[in-house]
Amino acid sequence: MKKIEAIIKPSKLKDVQKGLKEAGIPCITVLPVKGTGLQKTYSEHYRGTEQSMILQSRVLIMCVVSDNNMEKCIDVILDNASDGETGDGKIFIYDVAEAIRIRTKTRGKEAIQ
């Protein structure tokens, strides 16, 4: 099993979510995050003054998938999250030792289906 974390632009969340659902990967966790990467700072006006902003608002998507679905999940995120510009985001992949569904105590791949 693999845990896939993707940091993407908030405007791309619905497209990625729809793509994952159509690919048979409907279970995701989404968190709002702020961070900085290769992008430069930008300016916003707040209460009449210009503020230099360093941290960008992004969305963190987390999916735990079987090894068989890993490439499919990555492809969906790559196809739906990119504008082809700096700041499109990153994908991180981790090994998952075990998954347990609390209600039924089911373990392993069956717990994430």
Q: Which residue, chain included where needed, has tokens 């998507």?
A: 61
At 112 the three-state DSSP class reads helix
Neighbours of 64 (CB within 10 A): 19
Domain residues of the chain, as ranges? 2-112
pLDDT tens, N- to C-terminus, the chain (113 residues): 999 999 999 999 999 999 999 999 988 999 999 888 776 666 666 677 766 667 788 999 999 999 999 999 999 999 999 988 888 899 999 999 999 999 999 999 899 87
The top-level CATH class assigned to 2-112 is alpha beta
Q: How far apart are CA 111 and CA 105, in angstroms?
A: 8
pTM over cut 0.85: no
Contact between residue 61 and residue 91 where contact means Cβ atoms under 8 Å apart: no
